[in-house]
Amino acid sequence: MSEPVFPALSDDCLARIAGDMDRQGFGVAVDCISVDHLASLRLFVERKVADAGGEYVALTGLDGVRDTLLGMLASSPEFMQAVRTIYRKGVGEPAPDKPFYQVLRCLSGRIGERHAYLFHYDSYVVTALVPIIMPSTGRAGDLIMFPNTRTIRKTYLRNLVDKVLLDNILTQMALKRIATSRTRRPTLVRMRPGNVYFFWGYRSVHANEPCDHDQIRATALFHYVNPHAGSRIRRVTTREAPAA
């Protein structure tokens, strides 16, 4: 029998991760993606970036990554169980049987630089972030966040108000100023390929720092449970926010 693509994490380990998400904004499952899987995924990303002329690449959904590790993770019982357990421990409710909303995001080139400091809330409660390629020199595009700044809103309209207050030029400029100051910096997450990082994406304001244009910074995101998926207002007004 072949090894699973993601290990079966103990309940104690998942409780620690959920607790870290509450306390410091993020939790980490260490060394849970194999070297071989990462190597294959890096080659896939490098080909996609080369095909785009060395510029920014984003793939949304399962179809474009179905035959890669990211497709295998999406259907991995161990990975799904980990995310559902984290959801249950953090939200205090049974985890619903919902698929992931997936994004593969490859920052590179001049266009990639423009995706820095785009602060946002995710539409989904839990975000699992899989770093694939992180630059080892220069600006690495590290994840930055103001963790757990709101609760899960009872209505989509209240959620929309939050997003409007955040997604405007004055708020974005103020957050960027804080993020680049030496005294009042947000939480910085320096990610290492092989680990998987979990945070409350819906509740946390987050973005990435700049990545040097001659480097590749590639991450995969697995979003779980949109609490407003059934809202009629959402269907008319929404578009997915930038990913991390």
Pick from 15-19, 150-154, 182-186, 191-195: least confident? 182-186
Percentage of the chain lying above the pLDDT 70 cut:
95
Q: What average pLDDT does the segment 60-81 reach?
A: 94
**pLDDT digits 0-9 by tens, 187-206:** 999 999 999 999 999 999 99
Label residue 156 by pLDDT band (50, 70, 90).
Answer: very high
Q: Rounded to two decimals, what is the model's pTM?
A: 0.93
DSSP string across the chain: -PPPSS----HHHHHHHHHHHHHTS-EEETT-S-HHHHHHHHHHHHHHHHHTTT--EEEESSGGGTTSHHHHHHT-HHHHHHHHHHHHHHHSSPPP--PPEEEEEEE-HHHHHTTTT--B--SSSEEEEEEEE--SSS-B--EEEETT-SPPPSSHHHHHHHHHHHSSHHHHHHHHHHHHSSSS--EEE---BTBEEEE-TTT-EEEE--B-TTS-EEEEEEEE--TTTT-HHHHHH--PPP--
Looking at residue 115, what is its pLDDT? 82
Percentage of the chain lying above the pLDDT 90 cut:
77
pLDDT of 1 higher than 60: no
**pLDDT digits 0-9 by tens, 208-237:** 999 888 889 999 999 999 999 888 777 776
Label residue 53 by pLDDT band (50, 70, 90).
Answer: very high
Q: What average pLDDT does the segment 76-85 reach?
A: 97
Looking at residue 2, what is its pLDDT? 66
Looking at residue 242, what is its pLDDT? 57
Class of domain 13-237 (CATH, top level): mainly beta
Pick from 18-27, 48-57, 83-92, 227-236: least confident? 227-236
pLDDT of 123 higher than 80: yes
Looking at residue 82, what is its pLDDT? 98
Mean pLDDT, all residues of the chain = 92
Label residue 24 by pLDDT band (50, 70, 90).
Answer: very high
Looking at residue 244, what is its pLDDT? 64
Q: What average pLDDT does the segment 58-76 reach?
A: 93
